[in-house]
């Protein structure tokens, strides 16, 4: 058994942006044969028309716009080759047409400058795109340190999921998740940091760091949550020193010990849904406490609830980016009604359907980050006891203080 973030390998979902690098930026979008074949046909057509129109209408100079056009999508080598061909044709045509030395010289200089501008524009475009690719690669590396790719397998469960930041050019937002294999079973967290931007990311990173450490060291789930509370309190203390706003984090922390049950500590987060036997229902967590960072405002301590999690069921954890998604008329996303339609699907199919439906429902307009985890038990740890009914699977068996 391996404790911590490493576990047996599983297929990874490609992170957005990982397929874009410097090589992709510099690679030609149009083959040389197609490009120069089209240029040859265009040149032949313009030269033929130029001959037919005579001296009254010169069309060959129009070729100088071709390098600028190619610079929008071509490589530097392609743009340079096109520019060289255009310069050769334009200069030769001007020399054949004759005229004063001034006319010939000015035409040649204009052609050369126009072609050089096209090459320069291509160089700047490639340089900018390469820099963007480098920054995006760095963002992907940061994202891998904060939020690991899914699915994540452990000895007790496999966590499938998806993560969609509110801004497409940012891979990390205020939603967090993590799955850790520990000596005490598997610990899972999903959370939502108040606010957005870099301050929210900082708080989220602090919570994840504390969770990864506490999940392995703390024998009780309450002990894990206490360490998370301390992490948010420290982060808020640092924020107060720098004049930044203090933040809180809603979080749902689960523990799986292989006995066919799950323990949950809910810190102001949305309750999960259990999809089982063709039915999707809300898990009735009755001992919800205040969010992380606000413990000093509550006189009641946090407790863990014990819930049945039968083999073959899917436990869906999510952030409010799902339930608060709106359509064009301002109506909230009807998650429970939608889940009932997909209650017989597996976790991956369920996530795919949810993602597509959310996108269609909101018209592609996201108002918040969206994180979703779909947890299933691995077959090796399935309980040999009789499977409970859906109602029994949703019923809190007991509240365990310190577990």
pLDDT digits (tens, 9 = 90+) for 157-172: 999 999 887 655 555 6
Q: What pLDDT is attached to residue 261?
A: 73
pLDDT band for 323, please (50, 70, 90 cuts). very high
Hey, how many other C-beta atoms are within 10 angstroms of the C-beta on 15?
A: 18
Element at 397 (helix H, strand E): strand 396-400
pTM for this model (two decimals):
0.66
Q: Has residue 135 got a pLDDT over 80?
A: no
How far is Cα 403 from Cα 217, in angstroms, rounded to an integer? 14
How far is Cα 154 from Cα 156, in angstroms, rounded to an integer? 5
Lowest-confidence pick of 190-204, 276-290, 340-354: 190-204
Over residues 167-221, the pLDDT tens digits come to: 555 556 678 999 999 999 999 999 999 887 777 888 988 999 999 999 999 999 9
> How does the average pLDDT of the chain come out, rounded?
80
Question: Which of 37-46, 99-108, 287-296 is predicted most confidently?
Answer: 287-296
Structural domains present in the chain: 22-139 (no CATH), 149-400 (3.60.40.10)
Specify the 3-state DSSP secondary structure of 282.
Answer: strand
Q: What DSSP assignment string belongs to 183-250?
A: TTEEEEEEEEESS-SHHHHHHHHHHHHHHHHHHHH-SSHHHHHHHHHHHHHHHHHHHHHHTPPP--EE
Mean pLDDT to the nearest integer, 20-45: 65
Q: Has residue 290 got a pLDDT over 80?
A: yes
Q: Which residue in this structure is represented by tokens 């993602």?
A: 355
Q: What is the dihedral of CA 222, 216, 369, 244, to 10 degrees?
A: 70
Nearest by Cα to 269 from 155, 173, 353, 190: 190
Hey, how many other C-beta atoms are within 10 angstroms of the C-beta on 206?
A: 21
Q: Please name the residues in contact with 395: beta carbons below 8 A apart, sequence gap of 6 or more.
A: 284, 307, 308
Nearest by Cα to 297 from 242, 236, 223: 236
Q: What is the dihedral of CA 215, 324, 148, 293, to 10 degrees?
A: -40
How far is Cα 330 from Cα 335, in angstroms, rounded to an integer? 15
pLDDT band for 383, please (50, 70, 90 cuts). very low
The share of the chain scoring above pLDDT 90, in percent, equals: 39
253 or 87: whose pLDDT is higher? 253
Q: Which residue in this structure is represented by tokens 């069921």?
A: 313
């Amino acid at each position: 058994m391996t404790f911590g973030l490493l576990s047996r390998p599983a297929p990874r979902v490609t992170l957005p942006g990982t397929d874009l690098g410097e090589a992709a930026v510099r690679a030609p979008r149009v083959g040389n044969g197609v490009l120069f074949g089209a240029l040859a046909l265009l040149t032949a057509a313009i030269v033929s028309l130029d001959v037919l129109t005579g001296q009254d209408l010169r069309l060959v100079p129009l070729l100088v716009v071709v390098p600028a056009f190619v610079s929008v999508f071509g490589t530097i080598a392609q743009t340079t080759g096109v520019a060289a061909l255009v310069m050769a044709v334009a200069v030769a045509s001007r020399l054949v047409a004759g005229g004063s030395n001034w006319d010939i010289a000015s035409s040649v200089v204009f052609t050369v400058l126009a072609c050089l501008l096209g090459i320069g524009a291509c160089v700047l475009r490639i340089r900018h795109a390469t820099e963007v690719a480098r920054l995006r690669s760095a963002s992907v590396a940061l994202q891998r340190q904060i939020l690991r790719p899914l699915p994540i397998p452990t000895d007790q469960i496999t966590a499938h999921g998806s993560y969609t930041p509110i801004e497409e050019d940012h891979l990390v937002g205020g939603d967090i998740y993590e799955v850790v294999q520990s000596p005490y079973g598997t610990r899972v967290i999903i959370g939502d940091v108040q606010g957005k931007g870099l301050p929210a990311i900082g708080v989220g990173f602090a919570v994840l760091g504390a969770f990864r450490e506490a999940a392995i060291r703390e024998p009780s789930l309450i002990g894990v949550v206490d360490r998370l509370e301390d992490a948010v309190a420290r982060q808020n203390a640092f924020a107060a020193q720098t004049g930044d706003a203090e933040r809180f984090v809603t979080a749902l922390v689960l523990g799986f010990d292989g006995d066919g049950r799950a323990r949950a500590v809910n810190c102001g987060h949305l309750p999960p849904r259990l999809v089982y036997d063709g039915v999707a229902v809300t898990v009735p967590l009755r001992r919800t406490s205040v969010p992380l960072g606000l413990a000093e405002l509550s006189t009641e301590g946090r407790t863990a609830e014990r819930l049945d999690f039968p083999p073959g069921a899917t436990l869906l954890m999510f952030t409010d980016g799902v339930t608060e998604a709106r359509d064009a008329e301002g109506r909230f996303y009807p998650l429970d009604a939608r889940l009932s339609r997909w209650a017989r699907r597996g976790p991956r199919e369920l996530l795919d359907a949810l993602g597509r439906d959310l996108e269609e429902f909101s018209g592609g307009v996201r108002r918040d980050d969206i994180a979703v985890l779909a947890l299933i038990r691995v077959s090796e740890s399935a309980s040999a006891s009789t499977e409970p009914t859906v109602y029994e699977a949703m019923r809190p068996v007991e509240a365990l203080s310190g577990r």
